[in-house]
Each structure stands twice: as C-alpha cells, then as structure tokens.
Structure 1
Amino acid sequence: MADQFMADGPGVSAMCADRADLPASTLTEASAVHAPGAPPAFQVFVDQQRIVLVGDVDALGSEQLARVLAASPVTGGTCALDLSGLEFADVAGCRAIAVWARGLAQRGVRLELWDAPALVRRTWQVLELDEWASVSFAPAA
C-alpha cells in the first residue's frame, strides 16, 4: 500500500538511513521535513516552486527553519511559501523567512507568501522587513 501511495499519491518518497551513520544535526534537520512519531514544532513540505510551512516557528526553531529553507530546491521565477498551516511565528521566525527571501531575490527568484497569518503580516510591517526583503502577500492559488 505504501508503494502504491508513493507512486500515485501527492509526491511522497521514502528516505531510509541507518541512524548510527548520521550525525545528530542531520537527523534534526531531516525531522523537520520527514519525521516518524511525534512531529516537530514545524514541518516543511516541498512541491516544486511551492513550499508549505505548517506548525509553530519561534526563536528555538528559527535557525533550523533557515537551514531547511536555504536547502530547498527553488529555481528561478516565482516561489510560493504557503503559510496557511502556520499557527505561530515570532520575530525570529519572520526574520528567517526574510533572510531566505532576500537570498532568493539575489538569485532572481520572487517570493510570494500565501495565506500569511495576521501575526506574520503585522510583524513584517512593524519590523519593516519589506524594505529589507521584498515579498508579496497573496491568497493561496
């Protein structure tokens, strides 16, 4: 059944590894993308030029989010960060997104923040992050 779901489903793939061969930091990064058991505070799902961020991002997880976003396979054009499942993001979480957005812009990629919660929009405005990292806020397509 799992093989059939991966073949016909929403683009799921399996990742197998011997935990003894991987450093703890690698397992921590991978757990934000794929985690058996209890989920981490946030998760990231990638679907081509659309990245979905769900859960909570605070100061404790913002560095991990920054590393996961930086490693995402985004190419030119426009990328969407779907925040419809984001329940909470503090200043550090918004800053991690802004740093990533600025890096994307330097590579010629425009970032759209889809369905950003009011708290994210307000934080972006109060910190004037739009003057540092250009993004557009939009409803999910």
Structure 2
Amino acid sequence: MVRFLVRRAVNYLVLVFLAATMTYFIAASALEPIVNYLQKHPQPPTSTIHNLLRAQNLDPDTPIAVRYWRWLTGVLHGDFGTTYTGDSVRAGTTPGWARPPSTRRCARPVRRSTTRRTWTTSRRPTALGAGRQPAALPAPGHRGHQVHPGQLR
C-alpha cells in the first residue's frame, strides 16, 4: 500500500511539473510575435519596451531556459510574478477583485429545481449582519482594496 501511494505521489509531482513547463512555454511562445512586432514597428522607444519586458521577466535578450528557471524558482517560493497591471501575485494574498462583497456573507442557497441552485440575500437578522442593511455594490470600475507589493514583506 505504501509503495502504491509513493508511486502515485511521484507520478503526481511529475505531472504537475510537466503541466507547469508546458504552460510556461506556450505562454512564452505566444509573446514572441508581440516582441517581434514591437521591435519592427516601435511606437515607444525600444528601451522602454525592453524595460517593460524585463519587469515582467520576459526579456527577449535572455534565453528562454533562464527565464523559465527564474519563473520556476519563484513559483516554488510562492511568488507567481506580476500581473500586466503591475500588481504582485504572491501565494496567500487575495487581490481586491477576488474578495466577495459584504452582501454575499448573508447569502443563503435557495433550491429552485433539482439541477439549479441560486443565491439570495437573507432579510432576517443574522449573526454577521445583526439587522444591518447590506452595503451597496461597488461602482463599475471599482478595484477594491489594493495591497502594494511593499506591504507584503
């Protein structure tokens, strides 16, 4: 039984490694045409393009194997890089857009059919709400609470 579990765990780790490797190389190859186009038809100065690409760990002058190694060691340390908006993506943090609004805390499931489940807000006072009115939904374009990368360390 132990041999079976060990074999399964090793197979799982190999599968996760192969999936991460394939995903990285597919994403990296998708950016090559963009880099080539920007080098041939530069609207901003080329140094600006290279600085932006270096900030995203996509420097075209660095070999792809080196970029992959940097990305993989970052993932193993819980650092998933930065988003295109410049926000840091670190394990254990929740971005502002992923946090549920306060009205979802009072939501309860309502069964309307055997295959579909929907949610509605409770009008009864609850332990969380205690008779409060639910907060209004944020305005369109509202990004929620932002955490700057310097605050995470």
TM-score range, shorter chain: under 0.3
Report the structure, 1 or 2, having the larger strand content.
1
> Which structure is higher in RCO with an 8 Å CA cutoff and minimum separation 6?
1
TM-score by length of 1: 0.26
Larger Rg: 2
Report the structure, 1 or 2, having the larger helix content.
2
